[in-house]
């Protein structure tokens, strides 16, 4: 294990496997441009060998860079709700990640927030992609199999500069007793691109989040894609919001949701407040066993020349599709799993191949449970 | 190979097929003709085992097994294959992946067959999504080439196929039912629904059947039947009743 990865070794094998399910590497940094590990409130490492990239604990960053005050609690308000108020009242934990002007990372940078024993884990992360930089992030969030009633509170403020590109792939591996409350806002400047992928295929007691992208610069782009499975006892109240506040801004919010007995509330909101903006919400859901899927797509246009649309569908797998595959020799269960796997296959254009593979692997791992 | 005895089939509570008797031996190819709505597709669907074609009476025997109540995939595994006239679109499922799944682990021929059917650029596309009529038929034939059924049912294989592709589809179908092999060594059988008879230019069918109002009204030489229908329509067949 490299020096920069210390901390993973102290986590037992079962929990390390849970972390690896979120797409993270716990052995070497190979194929990663950097790594951050926080277990409960303890930061084990923050390291990178990539040129132009800096990752450091937020407390250190605030001491080192006075200018960070311009980003700290500027995208997310301290007073937003009780979660942000709680975090604002604590010693700051979490990381600051800076991609300097023009820097490009070939490999994704991984961050792991692991909830081991504490009742509440809180983090405050700030990601800054300066002008022309490109940053790929894989954020793994997991809890120990031993933690029976933990809560995770998180604030993430992302700043995508002019002509910069940030992709964030978040794979959740929480437990059936864990509650999760991420609060995240991304600000995208001129021609900046923000791609967010969220995958949650394992049970969580409650996830509540509504990340927002504010497209402030001309031609800014934000795409959110969410793939979720709610097993019995899981309550996933998730959504994404895009504020189209500059000319030429475009956004797409895509969701695939499946329930096998749990609840999914799939929200989406696009606000077009200036001319020449475009947005689309697409939510498709399957109810495989009695559960709740509640899709709430909202499109709000306030000027002429903003094009907004949405489509939402909740249903079941079509019998003719199952029979078609059975006629090719697949059993009913195989046919069903094959169709569901296809249903969840949302390819995100612009996402690095390695991250797409991690997403595919997380979905494949859940395939047997459909 | 296939023996249908006194078959009765309901669709949505209405009897669509009645008194169907048919024997197809190893190596034989049969052609099924008849006006729209006469029950041809329903017969193929009932033979495949689809839930919407409910068998109320009679038996289907395939390779000595009574398959009347057998689930669809077991019939497929036993060697029955169907070329769909209008297959469903399966979003997100790539044609290449489907072929890999149905090839039982032997994926060595997938790319070669795809090239032969001019479908190699379709392997990364969702099954049937946005396919033209001809592309659907080429995809269906390709799937059957991988599946290798012993008894091939084809529901209007030529519909939607342009002239240029007709030879490609026709010759591939001839390969599926081993028309390229000598009659003595031919093991595969076929049952083909056709309206135009174009497919007969590529395969020599052995027997023809005309279906009207849910049952067979005529059996005979496929070319002669086709000629008679082209000249006089189905009215003659119905009146003739040469069953």
| DSSP H stretches of helix in chain B | 40-48, 72-78, 95-102, 110-116, 133-147, 163-176, 222-232, 234-240
CB contact under 8 A, A341 and B88: no
Residues B223 and B207: their CA atoms lie apart, in Å, by 9
DSSP B223: H
- Chain A CB contacts of B87 under 8 Å are 324
The model's confidence at residue A5, banded by pLDDT at 50, 70 and 90, is low
Q: Where are the domains of chain A?
A: 3-319, 320-370
Which residues 6+ apart lie within 8 Å of A43 measured at CB? Answer: A36, A37, A57, A93, A95
Asked whether the predicted pLDDT for residue A200 surpasses 50, the reply is yes
How far does the CA of residue B69 sit from the closest CA of chain A (Å)? 15
DSSP A347: P
CB contact under 8 A, A325 and B98: yes
Query: What pLDDT shows up at residue A251?
Result: 97
Query: What pLDDT shows up at residue A364?
Result: 79
Q: Tell me the mean pLDDT in the region A117-129.
A: 92
How far does the CA of residue B107 sit from the closest CA of chain A (Å)? 15
Residues A324 and B73: their CA atoms lie apart, in Å, by 10
DSSP A237-277: EEEEEEEE-STT-EEEEEEEEEESSSEEEEEEEEEE-SSSE
Asked whether the predicted pLDDT for residue A250 surpasses 90, the reply is yes
Using the Cβ of A317 and the Cβ atoms of chain B, whether some distance falls under 8 Å is answered with no
B90 → closest Cβ in A329, A339, A346? A339
Using the Cβ of A313 and the Cβ atoms of chain B, whether some distance falls under 8 Å is answered with no
Of A95-109, A210-224, B14-28, B179-193, the least confident: B179-193
CB contact under 8 A, A335 and B91: no
Q: Which residue of A has its CA nearest to B146?
A: A328
CB crowding A279-301: b at 16 or more within 10 Å, else e: bbbbbbbbbeeebebebebebeb
Residue among A140, A180, A133 nearest A159 (CA): A133
How far does the CA of residue B161 sit from the closest CA of chain A (Å)? 21
How far does the CA of residue A337 sit from the closest CA of chain B (Å)? 11
Which residues 6+ apart lie within 8 Å of A169 measured at CB? Answer: A23, A108, A136, A137, A138, A139, A196, A197, A199, A351, A355, A358, A359
Using the Cβ of A344 and the Cβ atoms of chain B, whether some distance falls under 8 Å is answered with yes
DSSP A117: S
CB contact under 8 A, A327 and B72: yes
The model's confidence at residue A339, banded by pLDDT at 50, 70 and 90, is very high
Residue among A187, A162, A139, A122 nearest A37 (CA): A139
Query: What pLDDT shows up at residue B77?
Result: 95
B72 → closest Cβ in A326, A342, A345? A326
Q: Tell me the mean pLDDT in the region B81-110.
A: 90
- Chain B CB contacts of A225 under 8 Å are none
Query: What pLDDT shows up at residue B239?
Result: 67
Query: What pLDDT shows up at residue B238?
Result: 66
Q: Which residue of B has its CA nearest to A284?
A: B91
CB contact under 8 A, B87 and A324: yes
Question: What is the domain count for chain B?
Answer: 1
- Chain A CB contacts of B12 under 8 Å are none
How far does the CA of residue A333 sit from the closest CA of chain B (Å)? 11
Asked whether the predicted pLDDT for residue A4 surpasses 70, the reply is no
For B25, the 3-state DSSP assignment is: coil
Query: What pLDDT shows up at residue A1?
Result: 41
CB contact under 8 A, A329 and B147: yes
Of A308-322, B7-21, B119-133, B193-207, the least confident: B193-207
For B30, the 3-state DSSP assignment is: strand
Q: Tell me the mean pLDDT in the region A197-214.
A: 93
How far does the CA of residue B187 sit from the closest CA of chain A (Å)? 20
Using the Cβ of A349 and the Cβ atoms of chain B, whether some distance falls under 8 Å is answered with no
Mutate to test the interface with B, among A258, A311, A328, A337 (most CBs of B within 10 A): A328
Residues A105 and A137: their CA atoms lie apart, in Å, by 10
Using a CB–CB cut-off of 8 Å, the residues of B that contact A are: 48, 50-51, 71-73, 76-77, 81-82, 84, 87-88, 90-94, 98, 101-102, 104, 126, 143, 147
Give the up-direction half-sphere exposure of residue B219: CA atoms within 13 A in the CB hemisphere. Answer: 11
Q: Quick: pLDDT tens for A56-94.
A: 999 999 999 999 999 999 999 999 999 999 999 999 999
Query: What pLDDT shows up at residue B180?
Result: 73
Query: What pLDDT shows up at residue A194?
Result: 97
ipTM: 0.94
How far does the CA of residue B38 sit from the closest CA of chain A (Å)? 21
Q: CA A142, A145, A150, A154: dihedral to nearest 10 degrees?
A: 0
Q: Which residue of A has its CA nearest to B149?
A: A328
Using the Cβ of A206 and the Cβ atoms of chain B, whether some distance falls under 8 Å is answered with no
Residue among B56, B50, B59, B42 nearest B6 (CA): B59
**More confident of the two residues B138 and A346:** B138
Sign, CA dihedral B52-B58-B60-B65, equals: positive
* Whole-number Cα distances in Å, A153 to A78, A181, A244, B110: 13, 5, 27, 49
Using the Cβ of A311 and the Cβ atoms of chain B, whether some distance falls under 8 Å is answered with no
Asked whether the predicted pLDDT for residue B204 surpasses 80, the reply is yes
Which residues 6+ apart lie within 8 Å of A63 measured at CB? Answer: none
Q: What is the residue-averaged pLDDT of chain A?
A: 90
- Chain B CB contacts of A339 under 8 Å are 90, 93
- Chain B CB contacts of A330 under 8 Å are 73, 101-102
**CATH number of the domain residue B49 falls in:** 3.40.50.300
Using the Cβ of A327 and the Cβ atoms of chain B, whether some distance falls under 8 Å is answered with yes
Of A238-242, B183-187, B208-212, the least confident: B183-187
CB contact under 8 A, A343 and B92: yes
**With pLDDT > 90 as the criterion, what percentage of chain A qualifies?**
64
Domain that holds residue B76: 2-240
CB contact under 8 A, B51 and A332: no
Asked whether the predicted pLDDT for residue A3 surpasses 60, the reply is no
* Whole-number Cα distances in Å, B23 to B28, B30, B62, B191: 10, 10, 10, 11
**With pLDDT > 70 as the criterion, what percentage of chain A qualifies?**
97
B76 → closest Cβ in A321, A326, A344? A326
Q: Quick: pLDDT tens for A132-178.
A: 999 999 988 888 888 778 899 999 999 999 999 999 998 888 888 88
A342 → closest Cβ in B50, B81, B91? B91
The model's confidence at residue A37, banded by pLDDT at 50, 70 and 90, is confident
Q: Tell me the mean pLDDT in the region B84-103.
A: 92
Q: Quick: pLDDT tens for B144-172.
A: 999 999 999 999 998 889 888 899 999 99
Q: CA A295, A300, A305, A309: dihedral to nearest 10 degrees?
A: 10
């Amino acid at each position: 294990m490299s020096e920069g990865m210390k901390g993973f070794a102290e986590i037992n094998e079962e929990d390390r496997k849970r972390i690896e399910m979120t797409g993270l590497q716990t052995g070497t940094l190979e194929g990663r441009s950097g790594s951050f590990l926080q277990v409960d409130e303890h930061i084990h490492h923050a390291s990178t060998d990539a040129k132009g990239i800096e990752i450091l604990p937020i407390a250190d960053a605030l001491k080192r860079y006075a200018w960070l005050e311009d980003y700290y609690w500027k995208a997310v308000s301290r007073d937003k709700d009780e979660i942000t108020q709680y975090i604002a009242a604590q010693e700051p934990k979490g990381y600051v990640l800076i991609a300097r002007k023009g820097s490009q990372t070939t490999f994704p940078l991984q961050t792991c927030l692991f909830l081991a024993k504490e009742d509440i884990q809180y983090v405050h992360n700030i990601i800054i992609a300066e002008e022309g930089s490109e940053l790929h992030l894989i954020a793994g969030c997991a809890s120990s199999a031993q933690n029976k009633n933990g809560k995770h509170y998180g604030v993430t403020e992302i700043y995508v500069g002019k002509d910069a590109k940030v992709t964030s792939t978040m794979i959740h591996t929480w437990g059936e007793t864990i509650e999760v409350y991420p609060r995240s806002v991304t600000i995208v400047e001129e021609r900046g691109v923000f791609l967010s992928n969220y995958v949650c295929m394992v049970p969580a007691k409650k996830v509540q989040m509504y990340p927002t992208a504010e497209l402030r610069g001309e031609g800014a782009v934000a795409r959110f894609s969410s793939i979720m499975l709610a097993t019995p006892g899981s309550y996933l109240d998730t959504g994404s919001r895009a504020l189209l506040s500059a000319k030429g801004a475009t956004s797409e919010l895509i969701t695939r949701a499946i329930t096998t007995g749990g609840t999914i509330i799939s929200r989406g909101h696009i606000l077009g407040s200036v001319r020449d903006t475009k947005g689309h919400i697409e939510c498709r859901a399957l109810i495989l066993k009695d559960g709740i899927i509640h899709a709430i797509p909202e499109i709000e246009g306030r000027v002429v020349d903003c094009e907004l649309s949405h489509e939402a569908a909740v249903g079941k797998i079509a019998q003719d599709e199952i029979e078609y595959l059975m006629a090719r020799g697949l059993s009913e269960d195989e046919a069903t799993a094959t169709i569901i796997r296809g249903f969840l296959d949302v390819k995100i254009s612009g996402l690095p191949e390695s991250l797409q593979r991690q997403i595919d692997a997380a979905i494949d791992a859940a395939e047997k449970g459909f | 190979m296939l023996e249908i005895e006194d078959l009765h089939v309901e669709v949505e509570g209405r009897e669509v097929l009645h008194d169907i008797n048919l024997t197809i031996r190893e190596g034989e190819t049969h052609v099924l003709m008849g006006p729209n709505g006469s029950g041809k597709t329903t017969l193929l669907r009932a033979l495949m085992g689809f839930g919407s074609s409910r068998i109320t009476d009679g038996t289907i025997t395939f390779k000595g097994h009574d398959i009347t109540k057998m689930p669809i995939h077991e019939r497929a595994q036993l060697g029955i294959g169907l070329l769909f006239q209008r297959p469903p679109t399966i979003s997100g499922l790539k044609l290449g992946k489907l072929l890999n799944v149905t090839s039982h682990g032997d994926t060595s021929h997938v790319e070669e067959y795809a090239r032969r059917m001019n479908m190699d650029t379709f392997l990364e596309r969702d099954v049937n999504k946005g396919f033209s009529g001809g592309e659907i038929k080429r995809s269906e034939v390709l799937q059957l080439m991988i599946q290798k059924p012993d008894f091939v049912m084809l529901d209007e294989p030529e519909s939607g196929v342009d002239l240029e592709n007709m030879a490609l589809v026709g010759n591939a179908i001839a390969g599926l039912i081993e028309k390229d092999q000598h009659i003595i060594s031919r093991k595969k059988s076929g049952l083909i629904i056709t309206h135009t008879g174009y497919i007969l230019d590529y395969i020599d069918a052995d027997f023809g059947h005309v279906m009207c109002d849910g049952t067979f009204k005529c059996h005979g030489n496929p070319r002669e039947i086709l000629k008679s229908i082209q000249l006089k329509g189905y009215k003659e067949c119905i009146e003739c009743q040469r069953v």
